[in-house]
Amino acid sequence: MGAVILAGAQRFEPTIGAALAALGIDGTVAIVTAGWQERESEDEELAAHLDGRTVNLRLHHRADLVFAADAEFRAAHHERQRLLRFKQDFYRIRLEHELEANHVIRQRTAPDDILAEEERASLNAIRILDDYHLAQCARIHREFEEAHAPLENPYVAAQRVQIAEVLAGAQALAIAGGHVASLLNRMRLFGVAELLTGQTVVAWSAGAMAIGTRVVLFHDEPPQGAGASEILDAGLGLVDGVVPFPQPETRLRLDDPERVGVLAGRFAPALCLALPARSTVLLEDGQVTQCDGALRLSPDGSVAPLVADTPTREAGR
């Protein structure tokens, strides 16, 4: 596994070009913009930022070709997505109640030891629910894969050969943000992670979220409601032990220790990283080796600049 760069939003002040250059990467960069969905091919700005050395893998388009060619596979794929949506909905119903219980417990007055015990128990209940949801998602994926062997589907396989050829000639893979579920879905459909052969991966916003072990959806200030962060699914696992939170400027209340503490506590011992615009984090061999602008969220509710040499492995989880 090559180095991985996680980055904040790139839309207005892109930094990935400099980050790749710092690693000596001056060759072809394969790009994934499947998170942009139908506008996947509108990658001119990104290509210009990377000096025109890009080749877009066009995963969204390739998926459309597969679905157009194989209606049965398309229907099965849609059915899996439908099942996942049902599961997400039920998970969310339970999760909102668990988070509400945690909030209520934290407001109570009680002897310190009892309060601490009950807070831990409440947080553990949330973690159990998160794990249950991940297991449910994994089961649905497994059943789909056993029934339909997507990587052996001839239309998928044909596209995969082309993707592998592009990757073989690339020094790096750049994964853009956008719709994280769509991005994750397309990357999983073509098994892109398994086609990597040591290329450096640079991923930002939804891209950074998709390559972790768990994809966590979040927004502390949605148009209504308390904003319950929720697990979408397992990620691609290109980085272990990191949960990225891009766009913290507009999505996270970093000045609220309770919210930060619950968020980081839920996913501990994973490293919870807020990735503001312009921030970059270089990960090599399970270690943060360079970082600029990223923030570490801790279970005690604190927020601090991330420092180099921080380990990322999820020991004991």
Partner 1 sequence: MTGSLAIERLRDAHPDGGKVDAFLAEHKIPLVEGHRATFVWRGEADRVCLRHWIFGLESAQELHRLEGTDLFYLVVEIPPRSRVEYKLEIWRGDHREWIEDPRNPHRARDPFGANSVLAAEGYEVPEWTREDPLARAGRVEPFTFNSRTLGGPRSGHIYMPARWRKTRRYPLLVVHDGGDYLKYAGMRVVLDNLIHRLEIPSLIAVFVDSPDRLNEYANHESHARFLCEELVPDLERRLPLMAEPRGRCLMGASFGAVASLSAAVRYPNFWGRLLLQSGSFAFTDIGHRNHRGPVFDRVVEFMNAYREDPSAVSERVFVSCGVYESLIYENRSLIPLLDATGMQVRLVEARDGHNWENWRDRLREGLSWLLPGPLMMIYE
CB atoms near residue 267 (< 10 Å): 24
* Separation of first and last alpha carbons in the chain: 21
Q: What one-letter code names the amino acid at 31?
A: I
Q: Which stretch binds partner 1 (CB under 8 A): 50-58, 126-134, 202-210, 306-314?
A: 202-210
Site for partner 1 in 72-101 (CB under 8 A): 89, 93
Site string for partner 1, 115-154 (x = CB under 8 A): ----------------------------------------
Q: Which stretch binds partner 1 (CB under 8 A): 45-53, 54-62, 178-186, 290-298?
A: 178-186
Q: Which residue has the tokens 């998928």?
A: 156
Helix or strand (DSSP H, E) at 273: strand 271-275
Apex 217 CA angle, 30 and 82, nearest 5: 85
Residue 71 near partner 1 by CB under 8 A = no
Helix (H, G, I), strand (E, B) or coil at 264: helix
Quote the least distance from Cβ 171 to partner 1, whole Å.
25
Of the candidates 40, 43, 230, 314, which one interacts with partner 1 according to CB under 8 A? 230
Residue 9 near partner 1 by CB under 8 A = yes
Residue 63 near partner 1 by CB under 8 A = no
Residue 209 near partner 1 by CB under 8 A = yes
CB atoms near residue 80 (< 10 Å): 19
CB-based contacts of 10: which residues, under 8 Å, 6+ apart? 16, 46, 49, 176, 177, 204, 205, 277
Please name which of 32, 14, 43 lies closest in space to residue 176, comparing C-alpha atoms.
Answer: 32
**Beta-bridge partners for 200:** 172
Site for partner 1 in 148-177 (CB under 8 A): 177
- Residue closer to partner 1, measured from CB, 160 or 220: 220
Quote the least distance from Cβ 247 to partner 1, whole Å.
6
CB atoms near residue 111 (< 10 Å): 8
Residue 59 near partner 1 by CB under 8 A = no
Residue 269: asked if its preceding bond is cis (omega within 30°), the reply is: yes
Site for partner 1 in 243-302 (CB under 8 A): 246-247
Residue 205 near partner 1 by CB under 8 A = yes
Residues near partner 1, by CB under 8 A: 9, 11, 35, 38, 89, 93, 177-182, 205-206, 209, 217-219, 222-225, 230, 232, 246-247
